[in-house]
Amino acid sequence: MNRIYFISDLHLDKKYDNSSDKFFDPKQSKRDRFIDLLKQHKDDTIIVMGDFYNDYLESIKIIKEIDDMGIHGFWTFGNHEWLEHAAQKISGPKESTREEFEIIEKAMYDLGKQCKNFKLLATGIVENIRDYVIIGDIGWTSFKDNNDSVHTNYEYDWKEDWDFEWVKEQNKKWIAFANKVLQENKKVIIATHYPMYFPGQISSGRFAGATEEYILYWFSKNGLIYSNEHEIVFLHGHTHDQSLAKGHYTNPIGRKGNSFPLKLQEIEIK
């Protein structure tokens, strides 16, 4: 039986200079090192949950390359494909943030239709691993705090035309889709770039004290509905932290994006 691995927040446009990686080669780029790593796991399932690059166009290129290599697995976009790109207006000054979002969304789904081996996880798409179904997305949040007001300190709210309403609408679509899948299936892998629901209280780490009432990082309720009858495995990215709770895996990546041995984290499911 093949193994299942995941990784997130590669940030392949950042310098890779950590000699703690036993395969470290100072002449090799982080991108090439990652491709070499994938070649060692051609018989396994690989899940990559976003933040390949700051530019979604560069992310599309490497996703195509991975698919053409015959690597079997799944991918999502992260905030650096969606939000960084839109905030920076990489495609030019004429598009509004909403138009940028819609351009990225279309490109993402179009790429997903092209990929035969390395498949897109996004709202509306259900795939299978063994006897689990797997769903995923960036894991949109509503960007609300406990008073139902938009976070004013969010990193992109300086954008004059930043479209919170579009983002909140994507959150509603994602949660409605995920809850439908949870109603119909008891064994589910939920792979999102943003951390989702954590059962119980987190006892240590950056999020010590957070409870099931909160979606971590944004600290707002996310609306997922499930019970003890479910067997759910959560895969998270974004926070650059290690595993925080039973049944939850986070990406094994250093906080600064380059201070880590580049490796895949194995997921254990029955």
What are the per-10-residue average pLDDT scores of the chain (270 residues)? Answer: 88 64 61 90 94 91 97 94 65 65 92 98 96 92 47 46 74 91 95 70 54 48 79 82 60 49 77
Q: Which domain holds residue 99?
A: 4-267
Complete edge-to-edge strand list for the sheet that includes strand 72-76:
118-120, 72-76, 45-49, 4-7, 265-267
Instruction: Report the pLDDT value the prediction gives residue 132, as an integer from 0 to 100.
Output: 96
CATH code (residue 152) = 3.60.21
Quote the pTM value. Answer: 0.83
Instruction: Report the pLDDT value the prediction gives residue 67, as an integer from 0 to 100.
Output: 98
Torsions phi, psi for 120 (to 5 deg):
-70, 135
How many structural domains are present in the chain? 1
Instruction: Report the pLDDT value the prediction gives residue 65, as an integer from 0 to 100.
Output: 97
Instruction: Report the pLDDT value the prediction gives residue 209, as an integer from 0 to 100.
Output: 56
Instruction: Report the pLDDT value the prediction gives residue 247, as an integer from 0 to 100.
Output: 64
Instruction: Report the pLDDT value the prediction gives residue 140, as an integer from 0 to 100.
Output: 79
Nearest to 136 by CA among 178, 173, 187, 84: 178
From first CA to last CA, the distance across the chain in angstroms is 11
Classify burial at 114, counting beta carbons within 10 Å of its beta carbon; exposed 0-12, middle 13-18, buried 19 or more: exposed
Instruction: Report the pLDDT value the prediction gives residue 158, as an integer from 0 to 100.
Output: 43
